[in-house]
Every structure is written in structure tokens, then in C-alpha cells.
Structure 1
């Protein structure tokens, strides 16, 4: 008797406006710190799950809009890591000062996004976006997806992806 095929459904959202241009720098190898630079990041989101009463995995438009809220918050900002063991952040007047050893940078605080991550790598930015999306889905009363994937592209041909199975 032939096997019954198993169906899995997923939706993917990636748009020209799910982008954010941001500055950052990362630490690596325990004793290196990059120069400040920026990227024109692009986000893509994929959700695997069962079909609902409308025959949707999730509503494309709602998923797109939830993602856009997050990317818009990151756009034209300096991304700083709140949980870095190597970069210390301090608010001094209207500025946020980032220190790495004997180097420091001062940025207007309203032009920064301090992320709850250890390093502003594409991998951890993707994880941050995924966590925010899961919170937004829960707030809408959506069931947890089977899998949530978020890809963050730093530049053409260079991206990182996280896959969460809540």
C-alpha cells in the first residue's frame, strides 16, 4: 500500500521595505573590536504551521506589518549590545557612551537602539527579530508556529538565519 503523503505548509514574507540601514560594530576573538560601519540589512520571515479556518498558516499582511514595525524601529539607528561582556554602555546626559577597553564612542541616545543581545551580529539580530515576532503573534492570539525562521541579510550574498521551534 502506498504511503500517504504528508503536507507541511509555510509562508514567507520578504519585501523591499523590510529593510533597515543601521550602524554597528562587533567584538570577536575576545580581543578585537571592529570599526564602526553600517549595512543595508534586509529581513525575511518564514512561518511553518497548520492551516487555520481560513486555510492560512498566518495572514501574510499581518506578518508583514509586524515585521515592518520591528525593522522600522532599527532603521537609521546605531545598534548597540546591552549584554556584551566586552562593551560597556552608559548614558551620559543626552548621549549613550559605548566603551571597549581604551576606546569609546558617544552617540545621541535617541539615535541608538540598545538591543538585549551580546553582540550586534546578523545572527543575534535575527534572533532578536524572531523573539519580537513571537511576542507579537502571541499578543494577537495566534497559535505558536511549528517553526519560525528569520533571515537577516547584511549585504547581497551574506546573511544569517535563525530557526525557532517554540
Structure 2
């Protein structure tokens, strides 16, 4: 008989407040608004010699670092076909059709995503976590799963191989 193992971390402090806007249905662009986003992460893999899949504390610290990076910022997509984002050392200008937003540079996080949806944010976080997990000596994790809640009860999840 075989068994599968996973480790899941979600904490009250794995929350970040951030503003964003997304596009949908081709030409509709939301107004700038914010959420108190919540994050959970889970990894799957075999037990190591210590009988761990992955150290809870290391996983918590890795996701906490990402949460702190995004907290109290405006999240802007750099890969969107219709949202243009231009940044210099002082400010960031984002445009969509006739709309224009200008933000102080230190208030923005430029994410290499197509749209700042919960799904894309979960994917970006998953990519960052995957690299962090790969750097851990002896790690045998084979899957990472990141969940991002943008509003109470509205979760997006991204799962990827490590």
C-alpha cells in the first residue's frame, strides 16, 4: 500500500492588502480597487529522512516573503496586450485605451503577468516558491499548489510541478 503526503500552510498573517484592476471581455477595464488577499500554499512529495515532506517553517517563511513584497502596493501587469506600463525611478504610468493612471514608483509592483487576476498572482507566487523550494538541499517535493483568495470565499489556485 502506498501513501501520498502533503504539507499545507495558511496563517492569519499570510495576507496582503493591494490594489489592482483587470480587464475582461476584451475591452472592459475595471476601476482601480483593492483587496485583502489571503494566501495558502501546499506542497506534495515523499517523506524525507526526517519524515517531512517539507519544513513548515521554511515554507511559511518563503510565502511570507512574497506576501510582504506585495503588501500595500498597486499590482500592475507588464505582459498585458492592451495595458501599457512605463516605469522610471520616480513614477509608473499605466494606460488602457483612453484611461491613464500615474503612481509613485515605490507604491507599485510590476508583475510579469498578463492580467493581475487571482489566478495570475497565484501562478507568479508558485513560480517564486518553486525556485525557493528547488534551492533547499535534499528537497524531494514534486508539486506546489498556491491558493490566493481575493475576496471572502473566492479562491484561485495554481498547481505546478517542482
TM range (shorter): over 0.9
User: Which of the residues 140, 145, 148 maps onto 2:141?
Assistant: 145
Alignment match, 1:104: 100
Alignment match, 1:16: 12
1: CA distance between counterparts of 2:43 and 2:59? 9
What is the RMSD of the two structures over their aligned residues, measured on CA atoms?
Answer: 1.1
1: CA distance between counterparts of 2:18 and 2:100? 19
Counterpart contact for 1:40–1:154, Cα < 8 Å: yes
Pair 1:49 & 2:45 matched: yes
SS at 1:56's partner residue? Answer: coil
Range with greater deviation from structure 2 (131-140 or 102-111): 131-140
Alignment match, 1:62: 58
TM-score after normalising by structure 2: 0.96
1: CA distance between counterparts of 2:156 and 2:19? 17
* Alignment length (residue pairs): 162
Q: Structure 1: which 5+ runs fail to align?
A: none
Counterpart contact for 1:137–1:144, Cα < 8 Å: no
Range with greater deviation from structure 2 (76-85 or 91-100): 91-100
Per the TM alignment, residue 19 of structure 1 is displaced from its structure 2 partner at its CA by 0.7
Alignment match, 2:125: 129
Q: Structure 2: which 5+ runs fail to align?
A: none
1: CA distance between counterparts of 2:55 and 2:36? 27
Alignment match, 2:150: 154
TM-score after normalising by structure 1: 0.94
Deviations 1:53-102 (A, max 9, x none): 11000000010000000000000000000101010011256110000001
SS at 2:79's partner residue? Answer: coil
Alignment match, 1:77: 73
